[in-house]
Structure 1
């Protein structure tokens, strides 16, 4: 007699979050399948069945990270009741709070993964995925500052240059947090950078 296939006995989203945290803490090359299965509480065959190989799991973890810890900060830029400077400050402070959250690994998974591309530590498809995410962030910020440019005191700088500056600053903040800087340290750095928006 044929029997029905076994149902998955774990919550895929919760398990994916655990994998994300391992990649975030250890980086892609520093994460083994054993690290993942131990953290996720599943065996290798269940991991392969649910997520595919390590690279596929990593790409899914990146998507999960973006949805939970990435795009939320952008909402601060669109609170139009505030000045542009206040919105940019709140956007960067929101990122800084995430970077130094004691309940999360330090730094930023996207920033960390970006640095791993140069050392050829990421598989080609994952590297292309990370580069695409960074390009999309740059495009989103550029379009935002194009809309804000007229009469907002940023006419001396092109929207793309400002977007590049902010993305570079975000990477720097992430590395500083990874290196032990606390929230107040990051906020001081952000406050210095806000002179651009006077």
Structure 2
């Protein structure tokens, strides 16, 4: 019996491999052959387990956010640490992921955001990616609003302004990481950023 009939493969592992390929190549640069080769399955198994390329990509994005996206926010809520240090650790967590030798460089959401213009991504994926970016800004804004109300910072920047700045910064860091910047180089950017924010 073929793999396409009994689905005799590790679906979670296959999805992780699909994530790696999309992360490396981008959506338009990834073919079905790229996916089936990396996932170790044939096309019929891919369609049976995940749907078409568009449906698989949406599942990959969800996996990416769960495994490599929302995890960084935990650094912001660590106890007994000044806000400035928590923000620094948040950004350090981001760049450690973006430069990890065990992962493709950069950020899949950032890469996909850059592909939203034109016809690079399916409409559903554009909506999905835009929603992730909006939720990131909203969550960061709520966090800094709470910190401001708690008296942990009183700078001129608004919570919304800081949130938008940090998302923009993360995109810039991701592009730099994808371009070959080292963890040490990006750490200098993080240190400079935190100093300039004057939290």
TM normalised by structure 2 equals 0.95
What is the distance in 2 between the residues matched to 1:161 and 1:154?
13
Match of 2:160 in 1: 160
Aligned-residue offset at 1:180: 0.8
Match of 1:190 in 2: 190
What is the distance in 1 between the residues matched to 2:66 and 2:9?
21
What is the distance in 1 between the residues matched to 2:118 and 2:25?
15
Q: Secondary structure at the match of 2:115?
A: helix
Gaps of 5+ in 1: none
| C-alpha contact 2:155 2:198 (8 A) present in aligned 1 | no
Say whether residues 1:144 and 2:143 are aligned partners: yes
| C-alpha contact 1:154 1:197 (8 A) present in aligned 2 | no
Say whether residues 1:171 and 2:161 are aligned partners: no
Match of 2:92 in 1: 93
Q: Secondary structure at the match of 2:79?
A: coil
Q: Secondary structure at the match of 2:6?
A: coil
Match of 2:73 in 1: 74
Match of 1:112 in 2: 111
| C-alpha contact 2:95 2:186 (8 A) present in aligned 1 | yes
What is the distance in 1 between the residues matched to 2:41 and 2:153?
54
1:64-117 deviation per Cα after TM superposition (whole angstroms, max 9, x unaligned): 111111111010000021110010000000000000001111000000000000
Match of 1:50 in 2: 49
TM normalised by structure 1 equals 0.95
| C-alpha contact 1:107 1:175 (8 A) present in aligned 2 | yes
Moved more, 117-126 or 31-40: 117-126
1:107-130 deviation per Cα after TM superposition (whole angstroms, max 9, x unaligned): 000000000002331010000000
How many residue pairs get matched? 194
1:152-197 deviation per Cα after TM superposition (whole angstroms, max 9, x unaligned): 2343111000000000000000000001100001000011100213
Gaps of 5+ in 2: none
